[in-house]
Each structure stands twice: as structure tokens, then as C-alpha cells.
């Protein structure tokens, strides 16, 4: 019998299994995609920050795998974690299209091309 542990989401309070449906270890909530800052990637070890990690973006690796980019609300450290099969697809797509919906230039310039 496979035994899994759980954690409680720091944002929405959902009880989440540490393994996703594919059996991979997960570190973020599949509902709201928030995480907790437990690993210090800069110093290489456990973090004493323990603040909420907010999902801010999506990155696509050369392999085609999607990663959720998180920023710590306290110390601003950036981390990434793989997208899980049961992650909230609406939030993922909102983050993925945000740069296209809010470009740093006026869209009217395309009419002149």
C-alpha cells in the first residue's frame, strides 16, 4: 500500500497530496497554484522564510514541459516547479496568455505593418 503525505495550501486551505496523479512529487496547490517557501534555492537548503509563493508566470522548457514560476511574497526569490496533470487549467492559461494580452507596446502598430 502506497502511503502519501499531505500539506495544507497556504492560500486557499485545500488539503493537497504530496504526489500528483502521475506519481510525481508536487509542491504547490493544484487549485490556486500557490506554494510555500520551504527550500532556499539561492543558498541551497532549507529556507526559514516559509512565506507564500505566488504563481506569476509559465515557462516552457525545450522538452515542451511546462513549469510554474513562483515568487516569494516576503523575500522575492523565484522558483519553478513542474505543472501537474490536475493543476487548475484556467489559471495556467491565464498566466500563459497574459504577456500577449498586455504587450509593452500599443497593438495599433500592427495596423501600420
Pairing of strands 52-60, 66-72: antiparallel
pTM of the model: 0.82
CA distances from 7 to 4, 18, 76 (A): 10, 7, 22
Distance from the Cα of residue 17 to its chain's centroid: 16
pLDDT of residue 1 exceeding 50:
no
| pLDDT digit string, tens, across residues 40-77 | 666 666 667 889 999 999 999 999 999 999 999 999 99
Amino acid at each position: 500500500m502506497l502511503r502519501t503525505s499531505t500539506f495544507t495550501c497556504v492560500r486557499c486551505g485545500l488539503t493537497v497530496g504530496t504526489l500528483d496523479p502521475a506519481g510525481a512529487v508536487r509542491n504547490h496547490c493544484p487549485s490556486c497554484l500557490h506554494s510555500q517557501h520551504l527550500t532556499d534555492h539561492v543558498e541551497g537548503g532549507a529556507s526559514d522564510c516559509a512565506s507564500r509563493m505566488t504563481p506569476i508566470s509559465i515557462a516552457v522548457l525545450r522538452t515542451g514541459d511546462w513549469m510554474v514560476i513562483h515568487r516569494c511574497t516576503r523575500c522575492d526569490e523565484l522558483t519553478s516547479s513542474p505543472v501537474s496533470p490536475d493543476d487548475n487549467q484556467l489559471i495556467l492559461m491565464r498566466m500563459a496568455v497574459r504577456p500577449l494580452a498586455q504587450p509593452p507596446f500599443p497593438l495599433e502598430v500592427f495596423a501600420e505593418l
